[in-house]
A = this chain, B = another copy of it.
Amino acid sequence: MDLGRRLRSRGYRLTPQREAILGVLRENAGRPLSPEDIHAMAGKKQPGMGIATIYRTMDLFCELGIAFPVHLRGGYRFYEINLGKHHHHMECIACGKLELLEACVIDDIAELVRDGSDFLITSHCMSLFGYCRQCLEGGKEKEAAES
């Protein structure tokens, strides 16, 4: 993936900030990052970056298909680099731990929707929530049920 070509072909410019952000996304492939996460890590490569640049760049990267948003609980935004192969996340509602799900069922779903509606699907999001092994063993799910 040549970031410069990809940007310039659509009239955008290659900047050190955008390179730094892409680097951060690459180094954290598969791990959802918040804008603040990205800001902190990219800031080490390019000191002085403003947080607004992160938001702007992530919007752009998502539009270009370079990254995609991940929807977890809490309503906040997370992003990941788009490496083509879909995956999803399983989030522990007790400790917050994330596990990667390589399995993607979007193809099955897309087929169902193609038959049943008139939508052209371009993207999707899916996350599972529950309890991880450690929290189950520690009884965290019972604590939560009691509260």
Contact = CB atoms under 8 A, between A and B. Distances in A.
Interface of A: 69, 71, 73, 75-77, 90, 92-93, 99, 101, 103, 105, 108-110, 112-113, 116-133, 136, 141
Contacts of A76: 75
A109 B129 CA distance: 12
Q: Please tell me how many copies of the chain the complex holds.
A: 2
Contacts of A136: 118, 120
A109 B120 contact: no
Nearest to A122: B130
Nearest to A78: B75
B103 A105 contact: no
A124 B129 contact: yes
B127 A124 contact: yes
A135 B113 CA distance: 17
Nearest to A141: B120
Q: Chain B CB within 10 Å — which of A92, A128, A132 has the most?
A: A128
B131 A117 contact: no
A13 to B, nearest CB: 17
B129 A126 contact: no
